[in-house]
Structure formats: C-alpha cells, structure tokens
Amino acid sequence: MHAHHQVDTYVITGGGGYFGFRLACTICKKSYKILLFDVRPPSQPLPGGVEFVQGNVCDYGMSGREQLNQKLTEEVNIQETENVIKACVALGVPRVVFTCNVVFGGQVIHGSNETLPYLPLHLHPDHYIRTKLIAERQVLEANGVLLAGGRGVLQTCALRFAGIYGSGEQRHLPRIVGYIKCGLFRFVYGNPGSLVEFVHINILTSAHALAAAALTKERGCHAAGQAYFISDGWPVNNLEFFRPLVEGLRYSFPRLHLPLSLVYHFAFLTEMVHRVVAYKTAMTHFSTGKARVELGYGPRGYNLGEVVAWFRSRGHGRKRAASPAKRLALDVLLLATGLALALSFLPLVC
C-alpha cells in the first residue's frame, strides 16, 4: 500500500521489504520525494530522494511461519490498514493503492476477471489471505471518504498480484533454491495443464505507479474504487516455471511424477512441521485486460535468467552434475521414504 500527499511525496508502508524498496527505486526516478515506513530499514543503500522512517504500522512481507500467528496477522492486515486509512483522512492524503491477491482460496480460477466475487470468509483455508481480503474491502470502501478540513476526498484502488519474482527476492526464491540444493525438488506432481500466474517485480512496481497516476484528477480518477489483476500475462505450470532456475543452477529437472493424492499426504506431514499449504498449487490464472485498458499496464518479457545469475553470483549452483545412476538412486530413495511416511500416517488423514 502507498499513499500520495501534496503531489510530490509518496509514503510506502512496508518500505523496508523487497517490494516496497523496489517500488521506491521505480518512482524516485520521477523526482518524487519518497518516505519508506517500516519496522526495519532496507538492506540496501537508499537512492537519492528516498528517506526511511522507522515505525510499526504494518509488515506487508509476512510469509511462512509468520502467517500462522493469527493474532499478529489480524493486527497487521486489518487493524493497521484501518489506521493507515484514518491517518490519510486526517492528514489529507488523497490517494491510496493497496496491493495483495485476495481472491484465491483453493478454488479453480480459469481466466476470470475482476467481476469474480470474493470467496466467502468462512471458506478461506488461509487466515492470512482472509485478513488481506478484509483489508482490501476496507481500502476500497474508503474510496470517496471526505478528507479532514474539506481537502477533497480519498481515492483508493487495489492491485491483486501474482507470485513475485526477481533478482534479490529474499523470501520465496531462496526457499525454492534451498529445496533444490538439498534434494527435495526431485519430483513433479499434479496436472501439467494446471496453470498459475507470476509477476516480475519490475512489472508490479510499474503497475503500482500507473495505478497511483490513474487516481489523479488529471486522469479523471477513473481507477477510484477499482481492483485490478496484475501478472506477467503468461499462465504457466507452477513447477515448470522453476525449470530455468533448476537447470540454470546445474541441477536436473525432476522426471519423477507423483499422484496429487500422495502429495497431499506429504503436505499434511509437512504442515505438522512447517505448515506448507498444498492447495496453493491449484489452477489459478486470471485476465489482466482491465489493467491494460484502464491503467495502460502492459507486461514485458521477463524471465528467470537474471534470478539464476543473481544466485550463481552468490555461490549457489552445483559444481558438477550428478551421474544418471546417482540421480536415479536419489529419486528412488526419496520416493520410498515419502511413501513410508505417508502410509504410516494414513489413519490420521483419512
């Protein structure tokens, strides 16, 4: 989420995180003043025109185990979003852009657009997304609220983005690389025709800037109260998307295909330890036509090449490829271990 104040100043909440910092780098090129607001500063030096302000409004980089703390999740995603809206109204901040994908809850989404209704809250298996859904509603319902002192009205919109990737991403891609290196990424599963969306960080930051511009009087505020899907625009199989990363680090892409039912057993076992949610591998891709028409957004041809180069520059990657016999032995060992574990827990999951 970011707010715009007096034309030339942006405040980016969660500005110490990957997306917030990269967004600052994008819009600071247009000579705006940027304030990054977060509990921790960025790990990289601040570019010119960007300042960091330490504070505890919200953390938009929650993932993994952090999402399991329901009380903290509700405070961050609901209460603090309300605090941001109240601050904008009180200070006369005219524009707010909210960013998160809140429509997916395990159901199949096949090329849908923004008319897709929210999944009912009680059907969401993921408390994090459930609270983000409530937060998006808060932001969009605040559109048109009178600003204090008669300084106009608040204009808001929301961007619903896909999985973010890009060089320097520190949460999800390092986890994938860890799986690759320790041998956990040794099988594929599910329907090869199941497609999902991803979005390069540069596309998302560009869309964010376009959305903010589309809330101005000069653009007729035509994005006010609207939600937009943002992605690369090329749906891809979730596992195939990572093939360039696997092979770019000199590992063999998995040839072993496991039935999805067995993977759910794996997911159940993993969930007991680290809460990995398997439903997120379901088919979910959507139309970006509305963003293209109303925001002028247009995806460009990014790929994982720069991500591979970034990891290899930091010492990741196999020095020597394993022999076919060794790869086969590892595949068999992993499958046998997984089957034994899954079968031992069958009474618990049936």
CA distance 92 to 86: 10
Cβ-based neighbours of 111, under 8 Å, separated by 6 or more: 285, 286, 287
Side-chain half-sphere exposure of 71, counting CA atoms within 13 A? 0
CA distance 170 to 72: 21
Q: Which of 60, 128, 165, 251 is catalytic?
A: 128
Task: Say whether 60 is catalytic.
Answer: no
CA distance 338 to 333: 8
In the chain, % helix, strand, coil (3-state, to 5) comes to: 45, 20, 40
Q: Residue 59, by phi and psi: left (phi above 0), alpha (psi -120 to 50) or beta?
A: beta
Cβ-contact 245, 304 below 8 angstroms: yes
Residue 278 in tokens: 């398997």
Cβ-contact 153, 145 below 8 angstroms: yes
The catalytic residue positions are 128
